[in-house]
Amino acid sequence: MGDGSQGNEARTGEKGERIAEWVDGRLGVYSVVKAKTRRAFPDHWSFILGEICLYSFIILIITGMYLSLYFHPSMEQVEYQGSYAPLRGQLVSEAFNSTMHISFDVRGGLLIRQAHHWAALIFVAAMLVHMLRVFFTGAFRKPRELNWVFGFLLLVLGMFGGLTGYDLPDDLLSGTGLMVVNGTILSIPIIGTYLSMFLFGGEFPGDDLVARFNTIHVLIIPALMVGLLAAHLLMVLYHRHTQYPGPGRNNNNVVGLPLKVRAVKSGGFFFLVAGVIFVMAAVAQINPVWLYGPYRADQVSAGSQPDWYMGVADGLLRVMPGWEITFWGHTLALDNLIPLSAGVGLFLAMGAYPFIESWVTGDDREQHLLDHPRNRPVRTALGVAWLTFYLVAWIGAANDIIAIRFHVSVESVTWAVRIGLFIGPLAAYVITKRWALGLQRRDRDKVLHGRETGIIKRLPHGEFIEVHEPLSQEQLHVLTQHEQYQPIGTGPAGNGEGPDAGSRFPQRLRARLSRSFYGEGTQITKPTAQEYTEITSKNRL
């Protein structure tokens, strides 16, 4: 019997090998996977930000599937007869009723519901921080511009996915937020009314709102996100990982961990992320709809605040003066239209930045080594200015809460935010740029004079000096490996020459932007080999 079973296993193995060879001969799957899995993966703490995005998204999908089994996306009115006594006997929508049922009557329902909400907040936060890491280190440069666009679209879809999911319970808080959304949509010239009627299925709030938002939240947005996420990961494998400068690292290799080791660490990190989310769901209450009650069009929830990622839009709306103008017999609600345009422009600038920088630098080479933010002062300053505008607008979304807590007038807080929206980004840009240039000067001094040791030495003629220790070759490489661009000219060849030099507006604009990025006062010149040799020779003497 033993010999027969071994023979069956051998024949089964041979049959499996033939099938695998047949598939690989026509699809080439094995050879492709083998080539990709033999790559190294950089092991730096900042790369876990992308993993947090992926793992929180997986938790979102799993918990969302569980919640969809009990949720009824309908606005039909029913009488609440659930476990929560204060609302018993009131007329509520089926959506609100099923949300209460999940929270109080389904075993583990409240934990899953809160884990779903916390995972959404963490997903968007991790996406934003991950994109900031990519931005400040220049990981968006060729050939990864499309990957940046995919990540940007994932961030935007995550925000709208959170907005549509937040409104599904049909509670008073979400309804208050929807009134703001509806007002913003109506401010769009020409098409605003049609968009509102289409979205809400009639006059706000309509009868099909929850059903339509449920379709968008459960089907459309997740499908788009899965597709973008798959494309994002495939492009990461195709282009390989970026890495920070260091010994043995260049533009043609990757130094890091093998796939098996990286997979084990990533698996453990997934359970760590899941554990943190579920601990937060267990101990930190979020979105208690039973305290808000069902939505009614004649009521507004006091102190209502959106989820943090929508705070920038709400803040811009709150601090905008109530301006309106009449144009050709139509009223333009500028108090909604201007904040909407500013918010859209803020994110479009983020999405288009890689193409702008590529156009300004004229660099068409593949870049696989990351930048230190200090070595790109203008880019770093622009990123901090963008973030400052975002944070100031975010503060504006809580102007009423800040006024109550600090016992000041809400008008004072509003004016402080208005001024901060203009002064804050400008001040952040100037300070960040000077800070980066100061760090570059320090790096230059370290290269030429070495590291300070803290040892004070007295010379024969009485002068006291601090002893400096020369840097190692590895440290010198890290501090001097970055490339410093030169500003381009306005001519056809990029050098300002030719009969049409400077005559075309795009050329002049490109040259001016290039000077602002890499012209005088935007970077500290790296020490040359001759300077290093001369100064180190003097130090030895």
Q: What is the 3-state secondary structure (H, E, C) of 105-143?
A: CCCCHHHHHHHHHHHHHHHHHHHHHHHHHHHHHCCCCCC
**What does the DSSP 8-state code read for residue 370?**
P
Interatomic CA distance for residues 432 and 179, integer angstroms: 39
Q: Residue 469: enclosing H or E segment and its boundaries?
A: strand 464-469
Q: Tokens 């961030």 map to which residue?
A: 155
Closest CA to 304 of 473, 171, 468: 171
Rg of the chain in Å (alpha carbons): 29
Instruction: Please state which of the ranges 180-189, 200-209, 227-236, 516-525 shows the lowest mean pLDDT.
Output: 200-209
Element holding 26 (H helix, E strand): helix 2-27
- The whole-angstrom separation of Cα 237 and Cα 35 is 10
With b for 16 or more beta-carbon neighbours within 10 A and e for fewer, the 320-347 pattern comes to beeeeeeeeeeebbbbbbbbbebbeebb
> What pLDDT sits at residue 500?
45
Q: With beta carbons less than 8 A apart as the criterion, state whether 286 and 166 touch.
A: no
User: Is the model's pLDDT at 2 over the cut of 70?
Assistant: no
Q: Is 437 helix (H, G, I), strand (E, B) or coil?
A: helix
Separation of alpha carbons 357 and 227, rounded Å? 27
Distance CA 5, CA 319 (A): 78
**Rounded Cα–Cα distance for residues 133 and 179 (Å):** 35
User: What is the rounded average pLDDT for all residues in the chain?
Assistant: 86
**pLDDT tens, position by position, 20-68:** 666 666 555 555 555 555 677 788 888 899 999 999 999 999 999 999 9
The identity of residue 339, as a single letter, is P
CA end-to-end distance (rounded Å), the chain: 87
How far is C-alpha 200 from the geometric centre of its chain's CA atoms?
29
**At which residue do the structure tokens 């995005």 appear?**
53
User: What share of the chain has pLDDT > 90, as a percent?
Assistant: 45
Average pLDDT over residues 432-450: 91
- Residue 436 burial (CB count, 10 A): 24
pLDDT given for residue 25 in this prediction: 64
- Give the mean model confidence (pLDDT) for residues 291-315: 83
Q: Is the pLDDT of residue 143 over 60?
A: yes
Closest CA to 80 of 233, 289, 226, 281: 289
pLDDT digits (tens, 9 = 90+) for 66-105: 999 999 999 899 999 999 999 999 999 999 999 999 999 9
Q: What angle do CA 42, 44, 49 make, to 5 degrees?
A: 105
In this structure, the number of other CB atoms found within 10 A of the CB of residue 423 comes to: 12
Asked if pLDDT for residue 152 goes beyond 70, the answer is yes
Would you say residue 537 has pLDDT above 70? no
Structure tokens at 217: 């939240």
Which residues lie closer than 8 Å to 529 by C-beta, 6 or more apart?
none
- Residue 89 is given by DSSP the state T
Contacts 24+ apart (CB under 8 A), 265-271: 266/51, 269/48, 269/51, 269/55, 270/51, 270/55, 270/58
Q: Identify the residue with better confidence: 29 or 506.
A: 506
pLDDT at 468 over 90: no
Kindly report the length of the chain: 541
pLDDT at 277: 97
CA-CA-CA-CA torsion for 141, 142, 147, 151, nearest 10 degrees?
Answer: 10
Query: What pLDDT, on the 0 to 100 scale, is given for residue 24?
Result: 63
**10 Å Cβ neighbour count for 69?**
8
For residues 314-319, give the mean pLDDT. 90
- Judged against a pLDDT cut of 90, whether residue 473 lies above it is answered with no
Greatest mean pLDDT among 177-181, 389-393, 517-521, 536-540 lies in 389-393
Predicted local distance difference test score (pLDDT) of residue 499: 41
Angle between helices 192-200 and 172-186 (to 10 degrees): 150
Contact of 115 with 102, CB cutoff 8 Å:
no
Mean pLDDT score, 523-529: 86
In terms of phi and psi (left: phi > 0; alpha: psi -120 to 50; beta: otherwise), the region of 366 is beta
**pLDDT beyond 60 at 6:** no
The pTM of this model reads 0.86
Asked whether the bond before 460 is cis by omega within 30 degrees of 0, the reply is no
> What is the per-residue pLDDT for 498?
41
pLDDT score for 493:
46
Express each pLDDT in 164-180 by its tens digit.
998 899 998 888 888 88
Residue 484 Cα distances to 345, 363, 371, angstroms: 30, 12, 11
Which of these ranges, 1-15, 243-257, 407-421, 439-453, has the smallest mean pLDDT?
A: 1-15
Q: CA angle 35-40-43, nearest 5°?
A: 155
Model confidence band, residue 496 (pLDDT cutoffs 50, 70, 90): very low
Tokens at 518, concatenated: 């890499």
